[in-house]
Structure 1
Amino acid sequence: MYLINIITIALGLSMDAFSVSITEGAVAKVIKKRYIILIAFTFGLFQAFMPLIGWGIGNLTFSYIERYNKIISLCILVFLGLKMIYEAIKNKGKKIDQQLGIKRLLLLAIATSIDALAIGFTLSSLRASIFTSILIIGMTTFLLSALGVVIGKYLGLFLKEKAEIFGGIILILVGIKIYAGF
């Protein structure tokens, strides 16, 4: 039962990173293996590391973090989504290579993994091994993020110039989903 619970948690936690990975694959002009691995590794690492932090901090600060995690994710993702849409409209007709900078990648990784911080607090109630849990969470997120970039690449070919607007809308919707608790 423990393993099923952890896999279910891992799949749930990785959905935001998967969605954002699709967006990044759609707006990138060139996708190399290194790009896919960078995104997947960063999202997987953050999704694995956040529960470890939550586990370590314990229940002392849980109510404080839980109170703000959704609004922080919403603000970051809406900001990045609006920025993408603005840049797409501003640069309409221009050939722009949307490079994923380290700052943007880290912001996306943080925004999509804040909920994993709270999971660290609750893993102890499952009598879960934290190291097995973070390994499963990290690997699941890595695999789904890599798949998301590849799916996004082909979606981007279909959407062409609208891919950046589509990507911005996806980021905003992921932020709203996190905030609304779907």
Structure 2
Amino acid sequence: MSLTELFIIAVGLSMDAFAVSVCKGLSVQRLKLGHALTCGVYFGGFQGLMPALGYLLGSQFQNVIVKVDHWIAFILLGIIGINMIRESRDTDAESLDSSFGFKAMLPLAVATSIDALAVGVTFAFLNVNILWAVTFIGVITFILSSIGVKVGHVFGLRYKGKAEFAGGLILVLMGCKILLEHLGILG
């Protein structure tokens, strides 16, 4: 697999994480470097971890993974999006900063990286250098997620409540889109 092909895969896999990072950036009143680094580490880490796990699982469990990945992403993104919509009316800064804690970030990182698990299974069939591939995917996702937090924050400063509501709605719609695509309703 060429570097160009791997780059395209890495960017494609990181788009969900980028979108969620933009939404996370909407939720902060005062952006800190730690917010961007937290998103980068969680999303980049899981985008690197999941293909490695998929590579190890190989084709044995491919059918099981493909059957449930869309449901897991739908449920996690839906719950997180609905919570974000509910919290868009909350002005308590402490609850907004806690949205970067372990309990908030772990489900988002898992939900945005499930598709990378299936990519890892594919890597096993293509004899890809998995260490190089997962490192590259993780770094690209780290960078784009960190940038996404800043983009969301800049937008969110102007339209805080409405932007956070829109971010939550986007997460719910992303979950629905993933589900509808896997059910064959959307092409």
The answer to whether TM tops 0.5 is: yes
2:55 corresponds in structure 1 to 55
C-alpha deviation, 1:17, in angstroms? 0.1
Write out aligned runs for 1:146-165 (5 A): 146-165=146-165
Q: Secondary structure at the match of 2:145?
A: helix
Contact 1:40–1:142 under 8 Å retained in 2: yes
Q: Percent identity?
A: 39
Report whether the alignment pairs 1:88 with 2:88: yes
Q: TM-score, normalised by structure 1?
A: 0.92
Q: Give the conservation status (yes or no) of the 8 Å contact 1:77–1:172.
A: yes
Contact 2:29 2:157 in 1 (8 A): no
Runs of 4+ in structure 1 over 2 Å off: 86-89, 124-127, 176-182
Taking a change above 3 Å as real, the CA distance of residues 67 and 7 of structure 1, as seen in their structure-2 partners, is same
Contact 1:2/1:126 (CA < 8 Å) preserved in 2? no
Deviation at 1:174, TM superposition (A): 2.0
Tell me the residue number matched to 1:174.
Answer: 174
Task: Give distance in 2, aligned partners of 1:139 and 1:47.
Answer: 9
Q: For structure 2, which runs of at least 5 residues remain unmatched after alignment? A: 182-186
TM-score by length of 2: 0.90
What residue number does 2:111 align with?
111
Report the residue type matching 1:82 in the other structure. I
Matched, 1:10 2:10: yes
8 A contact 2:73–2:178 mirrored in 1? yes
The answer as to whether partners of 1:22 and 1:151 remain within 8 angstroms in 2 is yes
What is the identity, as a one-letter code, of the residue corresponding to 1:96? D
Residues 19 and 174, structure 1, Cα contact 8 Å, conserved in 2: no
CA–CA separation in structure 1 for the residues paired with 2:124 and 2:53: 13
Q: Distance in 1 between matches of 2:34 and 2:176?
A: 30
Unpaired runs of 5+ residues, structure 1, are none
Equivalent AA in structure 2 for residue 22 of structure 1: V
